[in-house]
Structure formats: C-alpha cells, structure tokens
Amino acid sequence: MTPLRQKMINEMALRRFAPKTQEAYVAAVAGLARYYKQSPEKIDKQMIQDYLLYLMEERKLSWNSCNVAVSGLRFFYTQALGMDSMFLSIPPRKSQSILPEIFSVEELEKLFSALSNQKHRAMLMTTYAAGLRVSEVIGLKVTDVDSGRMMIRVKQGKGRKDRYTILSKRLLEELRIYYRMYRPLIWLFYSGKKTKRSLSVNTLQRVYNQAKDRAGIIKGKGIHTLRHCFATHLLEAGVDLRTIQMLMGHCCITTTMTYLQVTRKHLGSVKSPLDLLDIAEQRKHINRQ
C-alpha cells in the first residue's frame, strides 16, 4: 500500500466513515490513477474533469456511481492532499429523484407464497415486516428478536445508530418455525451450514430475485423494495410520519415524506380534472348525430 493511499484511509478512519464508503472512495481514486497511468497527486483539475466526463458519457455510469466518484475524488484532493476545494473545480452534483416501486398486497402474497424454503421465507418476511435495510437483515442476531416486547433491535444501522422496530405476530410465528428447523446460534440468518457466519448481501438479494421470478413479478428491482413497501403500507394504514421515521431509522423526516408521493391514501383520493367535467350531454348530442 502506498503512503498516499494509507494517508487517505487514515483520514477517513478519523472521520469514522463506514467501511463501504472507504472502499468506494479508494476505488474512485484508484480508477482515476489507472485511467491516466500515473499517481493521482500528479493529475490536475482539467484531467479530473475529463475523467468525470468519461465516466458519464462513455462508460455511462449511473447517477449514484458518478456521485460516489465525485465525492471520493473531492475527499482525496481536499483532505488527503489539502487542495482548496475551489481550485479543484468539480461542478456541483445534481441529485436524481426516483420514486420507489411498491408491491400491492396481492403481489406480496404471491412473493412469499413462491418461497418453499422456510429460511428464505423468513428472511424476506423479516425484511418487509420490520422495514429493514439488507445490511440490517444480515446483521440480526438471535438475541435481537424480543418476543416479550414484540420488538426487533437493530444494532448499528445506517449512521451507526441503534433503533427498535416492530415485530409482527405473523413474523414471530414464521421465525419460530424457522428456529425449530434451523437452530441458529448467533446470527439469525447464517451462511449455509456455518452457523457462526452471517449471511451475505448477495445471497439475500439472490433469494429475493428468485422469488420474484417464480411469482411472475416484474417490478421492484432490488430487495430494498420490501423496505419501501413497509413504509408505504404503514402510511396507507394511517400510521403517522414521525412513527414511520423512527421505525425506518431516517435521520430526516423529509426522507420519510417521500412515501407521500406513492401512497394510495393520498393520491387515490384525488380526482382527475377529467372526472369533474360534465360531458354526458355532449355524448348524447354526438349519439343523436
């Protein structure tokens, strides 16, 4: 490892960046160095901007991928090298707003019914019933399920924060069946036959995709859809935004308010202006002609 990379890693560690963030930022700088085949400290601001254009226009990376690259490069040059952010001259990033796709109740029933494996069934039901991120699902331990209080403890979720979310009676029944069959020791959902190793993100994602295919469901890319469904269905059931924010672990309530744009409770009660028009007489006139 070069001293420059180690310095960048140390700077991120001091700020307690998540491991995945550190990996992504290091990868962004490494990609820049590979592109020009030279040390990143020798690359000037015009070269950086040309590289970003290459990522956007030629490689056609997604908005999120480009934003991660910009953040990683900005951190490296401003914090590791001490360059003035204005001198770096990376243009401001525009955020892309994409509304989540939501499963109906019927689609969720099809999804869960497509799972014959009790372990897989319990994993996806837990994701939906508790509104968990995929990293939170694989991080659950047996002791995190509190049947006495009907709560699930989420340790060190996003932002390194603990929280509690709800444990439904239906989910508890499924988890008890799963426990009797698989006897997990430490991790609630362990990897293969190794009860002391937690499940991987890719495994959980693969289980979700296979269940979706069997159920004949096209929409809902990514298992994170189940978390979106949790929030939206609670909102439609009349649960207030503040409570949903706490259950989801959102730092800002404006993030939770996104679900107002996809809930049927709010949008379904709005009438189209076409429905307000009285066109019956006009139709009768046309029919007489």
Judge whether 149 counts as a catalytic residue: no
CB-CB neighbours of 112 under 10 Å: 16
> What residues form DSSP beta bridges with 190?
198
Strand ranges, E, within 199-269: none
CB-count burial class (<10 Å; 0-12, 13-18, 19+) for 188: buried
Please tell me which residue in 120, 212, 227, 233 is annotated as part of the active site. 227
Judge whether 250 counts as a catalytic residue: yes
Judge whether 133 counts as a catalytic residue: yes
How far, rounded to the nearest angstrom, does the alpha carbon of residue 259 sit from its chain's CA centroid? 14
Kindly state the tokens that stand for 257. 């308010």
Q: Is 251 helix (H, G, I), strand (E, B) or coil?
A: coil
Asked whether 154 and 249 are in contact (CB, 8 A), the reply is: yes
Which of these, 272, 284, 128, 95, lies nearest to 204 by C-alpha position? 128
Please tell me which residue in 133, 212, 228, 233 is annotated as part of the active site. 133
Judge whether 228 counts as a catalytic residue: no
Which pairs with CB-CB distance under 8 Å and at least 24 residues apart come from 197-205?
Answer: 198/138, 198/139, 199/123, 199/137, 199/138, 200/138, 201/134, 201/135, 201/138, 204/123, 204/127, 204/134, 204/137, 204/138, 205/134
Q: What type of residue is 168?
A: S
How far, rounded to the nearest angstrom, does the alpha carbon of residue 260 sit from its chain's CA centroid? 18
Please tell me which residue in 110, 158, 164, 214 is annotated as part of the active site. 158
Judge whether 259 counts as a catalytic residue: yes
| Residues 6+ positions from 22 with CB-CB distance below 8 Å | 9, 12, 13
Active-site residue numbers? 133, 158, 224, 227, 250, 259
